[in-house]
Structure 1
Amino acid sequence: MTATLTPPGLSSTSASRRPLTLLAGLAGFSAAVTTLAGCLAIALVGWFLADGGIHGAPREALRTGGLAWLTGHGSGLHVHGVPITALPLGLTLVCAVVVWRFGLRLGEQVAGHGPDAEALSDGDRDWTVPAAVGIFSASYVIVAVVTVVLSGTSQTAPSTNAVVLWSLALTVLIGGTGVAIGSGRAAVWLSLAPQAVRGSLHAAGTILAAFVAISTVTFLVALALDLGAAMNVMSQLHLDTGDGIMFVLLTLVVVPNAVIFSGCYLLGPGFMVGTHTLVSPSVVAIGAVPMFPLLAALPDSGPTPAWVPALLALPVLCGVVGAFLSQRRNPTVAWDEGALRGLVGGALAGIGFGLLAAVSGGAVGPGRMREVGPQAGEVLWHGIVSFGMGGLVGGLIATWWIRRSMLVEDDD
């Protein structure tokens, strides 16, 4: 029986493989350096394009690239004494994808490490994944801390603690999942979990993915409707080629933030674009905003059109569709289990989006621009309720559909 739980690649020859410490340490180092090197290269190219390298020195460009990489890890920084704490989620997402890929590859490399089937049957514990993730994370954190030391100054003051915490979150949660899947252990662990738990987790992922997709479409449509204003902002900035390229990159790295803001708008609480402002389906109260192209997607101040509150149905609909599609993939004929999967999956999706909302905002400038983003607590509550209701309905509909399909097959 124990042999059936042995991960793929597990064998008695694991001792002849490369040491786990070496593999995990190298993977963590490579995952950090890959994205860091990309930021450094972009900063150097931008510095050269901006003025042909006449002003400043290459080390200043490298310092800027290092600081950019650190902001993707939650470091924040100070610009002329003004704190900038908002997280550029586009850059964080790139780092997460790289960490995932290296974690997955590390999992494949260490699949044969750990006790063999006979040792497992004797009661030995398999610490392969925890050990690999721990070393992977430590190596990544070391690179991050060294980057803080070399790139940070008393004027910019990036937060070392925040960088360490974000590095651990990326490597343990994202990288650790990759290691578990790549090594085959995740499949073993999930097989031991009840079907209802696996179904709820799958429903949560499906619902969250559906809502992020709808939020992305909403943001793109809003931006397209006022694309002329965005282009006008770009023209008024009078940027040269180098500055223009860097400004476009800066815009792209905060697009995920804008998508999450759109999701907060659809859920109802909306978001702030400065102190004492609000953008929501019921009311829009904003003043003058910085010249930034993505802000062209904001609606005009004042009462909203009568049809706009109907957008609040979209999160519920995402819950219905997500739960339905999930249960079509993992069918159940039990009414209570179908309802539970949808309800719990929707609640988990709400919690997940609430966490995304919590990290999507922050200070982006002086004065009232120190408060930009959603109220995460309200978004969390609205997400749990909207997705939970939709998931419950979707789970029941899926169960009815599956039972009906089985009856039709029996009649045939």
Structure 2
Amino acid sequence: MGTTSYQPPRRGTQSRTSRVIEDRESLRKQLSGDDSIEGTHPAIIGALVALQSLLVGIVLIVLPVLVTSVVSTTLVDQNFNFAGTAHFGAAFWVTAYGAHLTISGTTMTMVPLGLTLIVLLGSWFTVKRGLVPEWIPIASYVGTHVLAVVVLTAIVAPGLASLSRAFLGAAIVSVVAVYLGLRSAGGNNPVREALGRLPQWIRSSVKAGLGGLLLTVVLGALAVILWIILGRDSMANLLSGWSLDAMSGAALGIAQLSLIPNLIVWAISWLSGIGFAVGTGTIVAPAEVVLGPLPNIPVLAALPEAAIPDSFAVIFLCALVCAAGLPALAVVRGPYAMKRWQILVAPLLVAAVFTGVWALLAWWASGSFGPGRLAEMGVSVPDTALRMLLVCGAPAAVLIWLLRRETKSWVGSLFVGKGGPLYSVEDEAVATTSYSEETEASDPVGPLAAGGSAASARSSRSGFSGASPVNARSAESGTSAGSQPSSGSARSAHTPPPVN
């Protein structure tokens, strides 16, 4: 009589696993896909994304203020008021958009640009994740964002000047976030279509101005790093005078990091030779340094305490000029034809974009930082605007006016004395060839679609090398009319003449 062991019935593990996977897929689609918002009005989608952007700013700025006030023993010893702390956190948050912060009857107008950067990054992340690239959601997002910031500013930081700056700051932050978030979005992107309608030389000029500003920001950051390295002993001595616990020390560190972008803007003014102020009656410039009692902020102890030699000041100014003007090479090397008035206006547009954005940053990064002598902090915008206009406009004008191929051809025609066209036929063929090669590299269909034009441009250029101007123009007109040279004529164009 055999013995058999008991075996429990097998369960359908495979079907259960597949069902779990299906449930997870449906949940993922509901959370991250378009099925959960199907049928929702586009304006509501934009408003919800704007509220998410505001929530990110509240979590990253207001919540740390509340946590610091609750946990820090230095603040708990005092009478802790949750409502007052929340009011201060909200007022501190709207300063990221340019609103005024009032503490103990003292109004602070200087904007911590680090907070503005945090708000901008949070808005960019939410726009990239959730905003639909259509005009109605975009308008709803910008309107809701601006309206919410203005309403909250009217509650926690009232005043006409504060509301005006908050409105302007919220509009700029929301528009920049929409541009950065939807720049790489696929489909019918209205932002890309709107920018694509601008002439190519205008887009290149705007990019050159913003690129020059970015390079100058890099130079300013390097200068601030050098200041911190050289002044680390002074910072340590000042920090040793603080009696802080762990949470208060972390809050002080975050506050100093929020002022680092302000120092970068001040450093750019220092590199230009104008300098900046850290209090009424003070100046920090390469040629002159006049300091008084500074606020007990360790990062301010790293500022230069003495003037530098004139040779170093000239080197720093030349480096700033090169950084601001080199991006104008994008306009010089652009594969498109430009008229004479466009060549004259392009450097002015580059310098206007550079100086305008710089003036806005300098205006936000400067102002009042406390009572008394701290009412004047940062850069004097009227004094530095003209210097920054020359720093960017002079090299951009030299590069664009002298190195554009139309200018060289026009100057050559003046020396010849025949009053030729704005740019020669050979230069047009070179521009067509370079544009065709760029199309082939960026478009997979480019080698098939642009091969004929590139070949015709190359054949035209090779035919112009040994022909007179009249024959060159006739050859170009024949090529543009659609005539293709035969193989025999092509060989004759490259075969040297027989020797008698």
Q: TM-score, normalised by structure 1?
A: 0.79
> 1:333/1:220 Cα in 2 relative to 1: closer, same or farther (>3 Å)?
farther
CA shift digits 1:36-82 (9 cap, x unpaired): 12223211321233129565144443333212212212222222222
Tell me, in whole angstroms, the C-alpha distance in 1 between the residues paired with 2:324 and 2:150.
41
Q: How many residues align?
A: 371
Question: Is residue 2:368 matched to residue 1:344?
Answer: no
Question: Is residue 2:395 matched to residue 1:390?
Answer: yes
CA shift digits 1:122-146 (9 cap, x unpaired): xxxxxxx2x4343223322443355
Which residue of structure 1 lines up, in the alignment, with residue 69 of structure 2? 47
Higher relative contact order (CA 8 A, sep 6+): 1
Tell me, in whole angstroms, the C-alpha distance in 2 between the residues paired with 1:139 and 1:151.
18
Q: CA deviation at 1:178?
A: 4.5
Query: What amino acid sits opposite 2:305 in the alignment?
Result: D
Unaligned segments of structure 2, at least 5 residues: 1-36, 409-426, 432-457, 463-500
- Say if 1:49 and 1:242, in contact at 8 Å, map to a contact too: yes
Tell me, in whole angstroms, the C-alpha distance in 2 between the residues paired with 1:190 and 1:160.
30
Q: Quick check: which has more Rg, 1 or 2?
A: 2
Equivalent residue in structure 2 for 1:77, among 70, 95, 101: 101
Which residue of structure 1 lines up, in the alignment, with residue 166 of structure 2? 163
- Say if 1:71 and 1:77, in contact at 8 Å, map to a contact too: yes
> 1:27/1:254 Cα in 2 relative to 1: closer, same or farther (>3 Å)?
same
Unaligned segments of structure 1, at least 5 residues: 1-14, 112-128
> 1:186/1:369 Cα in 2 relative to 1: closer, same or farther (>3 Å)?
same
Identity percentage of aligned residues? 21
Which sits farther off after the overlay, 196-205 or 93-102?
Answer: 93-102
Tell me, in whole angstroms, the C-alpha distance in 2 between the residues paired with 1:368 and 1:57.
31
Which residue of structure 1 lines up, in the alignment, with residue 176 of structure 2? 174
> 1:192/1:149 Cα in 2 relative to 1: closer, same or farther (>3 Å)?
closer
**Other structure's SS at 1:46 match:** helix
The 5-angstrom pairing of residues 43-122 of structure 1 reads 43-51=65-73, 53=76, 55=78, 56-105=80-129, 107=131, 109-111=132-134
Q: CA deviation at 1:342?
A: 4.7
Which residue of structure 1 lines up, in the alignment, with residue 309 of structure 2? 305
Tell me, in whole angstroms, the C-alpha distance in 1 between the residues paired with 2:326 and 2:143.
41
- Say if 1:320 and 1:391, in contact at 8 Å, map to a contact too: yes
Tell me, in whole angstroms, the C-alpha distance in 2 between the residues paired with 1:343 and 1:145.
35
Q: CA deviation at 1:320?
A: 3.4
Equivalent residue in structure 2 for 1:379, among 372, 384, 398: 384
Q: CA deviation at 1:371?
A: 0.7
Tell me, in whole angstroms, the C-alpha distance in 2 between the residues paired with 1:351 and 1:150.
31
- Say if 2:92 and 2:101, in contact at 8 Å, map to a contact too: no
Which residue of structure 1 lines up, in the alignment, with residue 218 of structure 2? 213
Q: CA deviation at 1:207?
A: 0.8
Q: CA deviation at 1:322?
A: 2.1
Tell me, in whole angstroms, the C-alpha distance in 1 between the residues paired with 2:330 and 2:221.
20
The 5-angstrom pairing of residues 4-403 of structure 1 reads 17-51=39-73, 53=76, 55=78, 56-105=80-129, 107=131, 109-111=132-134, 129=135, 131-145=136-150, 147-148=152-153, 151=156, 159-171=162-174, 173-178=175-180, 181=183, 182=185, 184-301=189-306, 303-310=307-314, 311-324=316-329, 330-331=334-335, 341-342=346-347, 344-395=349-400, 399=404
Query: What amino acid sits opposite 2:92 in the alignment?
Result: A
Q: CA deviation at 1:199?
A: 1.2
- Say if 1:269 and 1:379, in contact at 8 Å, map to a contact too: yes
Tell me, in whole angstroms, the C-alpha distance in 2 between the residues paired with 1:217 and 1:343.
28
- Aligned CA RMSD, in angstroms, stands at 3.3
CA shift digits 1:95-116 (9 cap, x unpaired): 1222233334455x244xxxxx
**Other structure's SS at 1:254 match:** helix
CA shift digits 1:262-319 (9 cap, x unpaired): 0111122211111122222222222221221222232225x54232421221221113
Q: TM-score, normalised by structure 2?
A: 0.66
